[in-house]
Amino acid sequence: MDLSVLIVSYRNPELTRACLASVFEEIRDASFEVVVVDNASGDGTPELVEREFPAVRLIRSEVNLGFARANNVAAREARGEHLLLLNPDTVVLDRAPERLLAFARAHGAGLYGGRTLAPSGELDPRSCWGEQTLWSAFCFATGLSTAFGGHRVLDPESLGGWQRDTVRDVGVVTGCLLLVPRALWERLGGFDERFFMYGEDADLSARAHALGCPVRITPDATIVHVVGASSDPGSKMTQIMQARATLVRKHWSTFTRPLGLALLLAGVLLRRRGAMWATVWRGRRDWIRGYA
């Protein structure tokens, strides 16, 4: 089998329906399967999948496993030569899975992503990021990355004004659209399950970089990504900061690690007058430890 499409669903039946319909519509020549892990949605999502998409291999979890662990569960059940991780709040366009598969086969073992659009048709740059570095942490700590958002140098993780319209190596291919050969996924050990949500794709990308594998974007594979506003932005940002602290602790050197953590704290301190950041600041003693 050429491809296993892995989707983790959680309380989004209508978006999951649209995503699955687009997958079955846009994969026409490759042999493929779809594996869905439902993270205890409790809102009819798994029932919808069973009823409307009987070809899907559905795995019902009794608890919310989080993004990393649920994808690992799906990958263990998958049979494809390549694994395609896809968010349930996406719609694939113009045979994107097959285009991405062809790109991966032409470029060898690596992590591959595409171009994401907002529902309006405008670019959504979140298909990839630059890696978290000492310089990007300094820009966050000093407010430069906010004051000059999207700047190539002063907001380096944004990758500047690049429209994701050329083939390019990047620091991180995000998990909303990520294709990896099964052999490389197994060599990397899949996602680190310490990451409940956020950061697991950055960690996987860092480990792929360490092996000398490409982490690469192609504009030939395009999807629409519907990203809703969080009902609790403070909690979401706290999880993101916990993931960032974990990445520093796991991947940075003994010398740079304390400085990196200090810069994360400084950046939150600088922003703490905002309601979201005030929540993050209050929880700093917990998230700065990272995931155990």
CA distance 123 to 228: 16
In a domain, 13, yes or no: yes
Q: Is residue 42 part of a domain?
A: yes
pLDDT tens per residue across span 208-256: 999 999 999 999 999 999 986 556 899 999 999 999 999 999 999 999 9
pLDDT digits (tens, 9 = 90+) for 144-167: 999 999 999 999 999 999 999 999
In a domain, 106, yes or no: yes
Task: Give the model's pLDDT for residue 249.
Answer: 98
Average pLDDT over residues 1-10: 97
Please give the average per-residue pLDDT across 273-283, as a whole number: 97
- The predicted pLDDT at position 231 comes to 63
9 and 28 part of one domain? yes
Q: Are residues 239 and 104 in the same domain?
A: no
Q: What's the total number of domains in the chain?
A: 2
Hey, which bits of 48-154 come out as E strands? Answer: 57-61, 82-86, 90-93, 111-117, 123-124, 128-129
Cβ contacts of 75 within 8 Å, gap of 6 or more: 4, 6, 83, 182, 185, 190
57 backbone φψ class: left, alpha, beta (φ>0; ψ -120 to 50)? beta
Give the mean model confidence (pLDDT) for residues 55-69. 97
- Final residue of a domain: which of 208, 225, 242? 225
- Beta-strand pair 90-93/111-117: unpaired
Say yes or no: 269 and 178 in one domain: no
**What's the average model confidence in pLDDT over 34-44?**
95
Q: Which residues pair with 128 in a beta bridge?
A: 173
pLDDT at 137 over 60: yes
Q: What is the pLDDT of residues 75-125, one digit of tens each?
A: 999 999 999 999 999 999 999 999 999 999 999 999 999 999 999 999 999
Predicted confidence (pLDDT) per residue in 170-201, tens digit: 999 999 999 999 999 999 999 999 999 999 99
End-to-end CA distance of the chain: 37
| Mean predicted confidence (pLDDT) in 259-267 | 98
Answer yes or no: is 275 within a domain: yes
Shared-domain flag, residues 82 and 183:
yes
Which structural domain range is residue 273 located in?
233-287
Q: Are 91 and 195 part of one and the same domain? A: yes
Q: What is the pLDDT of residue 230?
A: 57
Q: Are residues 187 and 265 in the same domain?
A: no
pLDDT at residue 228 in the model: 67
Q: Do 25 and 70 share a domain, yes or no?
A: yes
